[in-house]
Chain A
Amino acid sequence: MFQNTVLLLKMGWRNLWRQKRRSLITLSAMASGLALCIPTYGLIVGMTTSMTKGITRMHLGDIQIHNPKWPEEKGIRQTIPFDDIYTRLKRKSGIIGVAPRIYSGGMISSDEEIELTAVWDKKVNTGEGNDEEFHCKALISEKASKKYRLTPGSTLLFKPVPVSLNCGTLKISGIRHGDYADNEIFVSENIMRALGAENPEGKTQEKSTDDDSDIDNLKKLPAVVDSASKKENPEGKTQEKSTDDDSDIDNLKKLPAVVDKNEKTIEKRKLSFTRIKKKIKWRFVRTKSAPVGIMGILPSEEKLVTNSWKTVIKGSYLNDNPSGKYPEILIGNRLAETLNVKVGDRIGMDSATSHFYPMDRFYTVCGIFKTGSTSVDRSVVLVHIKNGWDKDLMDIRYFEGKDKTLRGVHEFAVHVKEPSRNSSYISGIKEVTKDVAVVRTWQQIDRGMAMMIKTTDAMTSIILMIILIIAAFGTMNTMLMSVIERIREFGVLKSIGMKPNMVARLIIFETFLMSLAASIVGTAIGVALNSYLVNTGLDLRSVLPDGFTFQGVVLDPVWRGIWTIEGIAIPVILLFVISMLVSIWPAVRAARIKPVEAFRQTIG
């Protein structure tokens, strides 16, 4: 049997070279099909890998740990204990990084102080007392508008706010064209009077009171509307006296009127005696704010899990032990533009807390990042996780255990040694977290993306199949031709006693040998092509200058291939399988040749 095989192989090999040109053409078709398949596979796997990396190394990590309720609700009090899980996971082998995270949200705002010269302009309508808008109005000179980037709609806060002015803000209602100085702002008489009357040190500052004097000392309005009902109800007034125990209305009437209902008219009368200046310098504060998502991180650990530190384009990443007066904050480049801040600037931000109401704090901008994803660059800020644990700020603890003082986090993102086998680490992590948390792979968290990558894999296989099937039809054609050509030859072989299955095997062996030769040549060319794609890659920068984002994932603009065993083995195996399949028909045909009929045919 074995000897037969060797004999058949020898015969097959010789047969192949009897029709040199045809065999070479078929061989080159197969080889080039294979040579195309290898780099194609490399490129597609390269893309899915870089996408996976983009997802996991940008933010997700390979595995994430959450409170069981977090995936559904994302409540600020749905935390997991920090210290216990963190230290035990760090000791586990195969785990590279365990990044704790706290999520919150709030408003971030920057203040910019500018000094402008208020110019009295009779044509400007104050707008004071307009409760709907609650702004005084002003016009700004064209130059100042350009210099301070103030446009109609911008609002300025007086600093300090003049006492006799009701509006706290000044809204720019228009731009005055013409030759005016670059710091001029045109306001109405009311505002000029108020600014002119202001004497920052002279006026006693109203202080915040601990007692209820700011309620008790308010004087009763003269009864106008309720007079009728009060007359009907004479007991009402006696009742008043008995309920108000600490401060009574009778005393109030004797007190000098702190506030009079005519307060405004008195002040205005007083003001009208003062001379109105034509120009007054005043300081204004311009506030710019934006809603943001806040992420509290442990910088050293975050660096082990994600590449977010690589996205910093100005300044530096967060430090584990910041030294400045205020905690550090890392913001996106688009947010920095909106707020008009640079590295080193101070900004204020309030954040949602575990008590459900916002608390605020100042931060120093330590760096500016750019991920390429517009929404992230515009609305995500990073702060040290200490701010999350701070009792005076977010106060995030583990609320579900017996000890309510334990530090809590919303999420752990874990980076493992073998990211492609991340699901195999799940059970080990579950031993640590028990039922306190849910442990999921990134594929389970971002199902859409995982699905898409799977679909891409399936598409790769289809593309490979198509390329190889085309090549295989060529093979089938060649084999059929050679069978038909050699009908007489097979007739002879059969008449001297060769069995039909031997004839069939001969044809299959011929195909096998051709495939073998093709796979050697094809692999060599394919590997050469792929090594170029791995090392140099396809540069898409001219087409996509900013890199490209796909479903929020930022991808490298240089598209590179990747080396995998499957990337070579699968095409080769496919080539063999398909070639063997297509050789069956010619083989069967050859086996069925009847010697008598074969001799009758004359082929020339």
Chain B
Amino acid sequence: MLRITIISIIAFYSSAATAQKWGNCTADTRTIVDKADRIMFSRTSAGKMTMSVKKAGYSSKMTMKFWSEGRDKMSVKITSPARNRNTSTLKVGNNVWYYMPRTDRIVKVNSSMMGESWMGSHFSNDDLVKETQLYKHYDCQSRKDDKDFIVIELKPKSNAPVVWGKIVMKILKSNNIPEESRYYSEKGQLKRTMKFSGVKKVDGKTVPTVMTLIPAGKEEFTKLVYEKIRFDVAIPSRYFSIRGLKK
């Protein structure tokens, strides 16, 4: 009883005292969301992954290597199947380039192509670019603490340049790892669900190694499985250059 009182006093005190509330939630919610949001982002990361895509009457599997630095720079190179080998994607800031090995061409993705699918997956080129830190553009709407999970509802700040009208994140209490994120349209319709699983300790970090994107209302998905991932490695800058794309 005493413990509960103390906790509630502390909780009351902290919520009253800290002016830095995040939307309707306590200030630590922001830390939780940010940690969950950044779970795959280290200073740098490099690794191998398999992407499986399932669409109506179609399925594909690709393996690829990737290198990333923060949120701004990313380079992906496809290693199999053979017909896509060495096709690369480079993202620097808001720009995306494709490298087409057969014609040895570099194609810059222009605004009209940004909405198109990335390598046949349910991710668009825009998804690569528009990965913004959640707390920058979203406010916490509500927070529910479960036994194991924390469910946080995020609403975009007014005038925020984002596509979603609402994001609901389910985060594992014990280690801040997201379990599921649901993305809603401005009209409140569920558009896609991202599921995280296969939590493992890799290279000193506990991370989910399987990410599944499920578009709402379809029997389809895109599944990313990290086979190897290394964090905080020194990645030469040429990996994030047009020159590096052709390599």
Quick check: A215 and B117 within 8 Å, CB to CB? no
> Does B119 lie at the interface of the complex (its beta carbon under 8 Å from any beta carbon of A)?
yes
Quick check: A168 and B201 within 8 Å, CB to CB? no
Chain A-chain B contacts (Cβ-Cβ < 8 Å), number = 146
Smallest Cβ-Cβ distance to A219: which chain B residue: B234
- Near B by CB (< 8 A), chain A positions 262-310 give 263-264, 287, 289, 291
- Cβ distance B170 to chain A, nearest Cβ, rounded Å: 24
> Does B191 lie at the interface of the complex (its beta carbon under 8 Å from any beta carbon of A)?
no
Given A208-B247, A243-B202, residue A215 in contact with residue B230 (CB < 8 A): yes
Quick check: A218 and B233 within 8 Å, CB to CB? yes
- Cβ distance A383 to chain B, nearest Cβ, rounded Å: 14
Task: Give A377 to B110 CA distance when docked, in angstroms.
Answer: 20
Instruction: Please indicate the chain A residues that have their CB under 8 angstroms from the CB of B102 in the complex.
Output: 359-361
Interface residues on B, range: 35 or more
> Does B236 lie at the interface of the complex (its beta carbon under 8 Å from any beta carbon of A)?
yes
Quick check: B243 and A348 within 8 Å, CB to CB? no
Smallest Cβ-Cβ distance to B111: which chain A residue: A291
Quick check: A215 and B203 within 8 Å, CB to CB? no
- Which among B98, B103, B233, B242 is the interface contact of A161 at CB below 8 angstroms? B242
> Does B83 lie at the interface of the complex (its beta carbon under 8 Å from any beta carbon of A)?
yes
6 nearest A-B residue pairs (beta carbon): A168-B242, A356-B120, A218-B233, A360-B100, A236-B204, A357-B120
Quick check: B60 and A239 within 8 Å, CB to CB? no
- Which among A215, A220, A226, A360 is the interface contact of B103 at CB below 8 angstroms? A360
The residue among B48, B53, B106 with the most chain A CB atoms within 10 A of its own CB is B106
Task: Say which one of B4-12, B39-47, B142-150, B179-187 lies at the interface with A.
Answer: B39-47
Smallest Cβ-Cβ distance to B229: which chain A residue: A215
Given A220-B232, A220-B233, A221-B43, residue A131 in contact with residue B65 (CB < 8 A): no
- Near B by CB (< 8 A), chain A positions 229-252 give 230, 233, 236-237, 239-240, 243-244
Quick check: A243 and B203 within 8 Å, CB to CB? yes
Instruction: Please indicate the chain A residues that have their CB under 8 angstroms from the CB of B57 in the complex.
Output: 77, 399-400
Quick check: A131 and B72 within 8 Å, CB to CB? yes
- Cβ distance A362 to chain B, nearest Cβ, rounded Å: 5
14 CB < 8 A contacts A-B: A131-B92, A214-B65, A215-B67, A216-B230, A226-B43, A230-B204, A236-B201, A243-B203, A263-B237, A264-B237, A350-B105, A354-B58, A356-B119, A361-B102
The residue among B203, B235, B236, B243 with the most chain A CB atoms within 10 A of its own CB is B243
Given A243-B203, A356-B55, residue A221 in contact with residue B233 (CB < 8 A): yes
Instruction: Please indicate the chain A residues that have their CB under 8 angstroms from the CB of B103 in the complex.
Output: 348, 350, 360-362
Task: Give A259 to B44 CA distance when docked, in angstroms.
Answer: 15
> Does B115 lie at the interface of the complex (its beta carbon under 8 Å from any beta carbon of A)?
no
- Which among A131, A134, A287, A291 is the interface contact of B113 at CB below 8 angstroms? A291
Interface string of A390-407 (1 = CB under 8 A from B): 001000000110000000
Instruction: Please indicate the chain B residues that have their CB under 8 angstroms from the CB of A359 in the complex.
Output: 83-84, 102
Quick check: A215 and B100 within 8 Å, CB to CB? no
> Does A511 lie at the interface of the complex (its beta carbon under 8 Å from any beta carbon of B)?
no
Interface string of A448-480 (1 = CB under 8 A from B): 000000000000000000000000000000000
- Cβ distance A160 to chain B, nearest Cβ, rounded Å: 8
> Does A486 lie at the interface of the complex (its beta carbon under 8 Å from any beta carbon of B)?
no
Quick check: B243 and A161 within 8 Å, CB to CB? yes
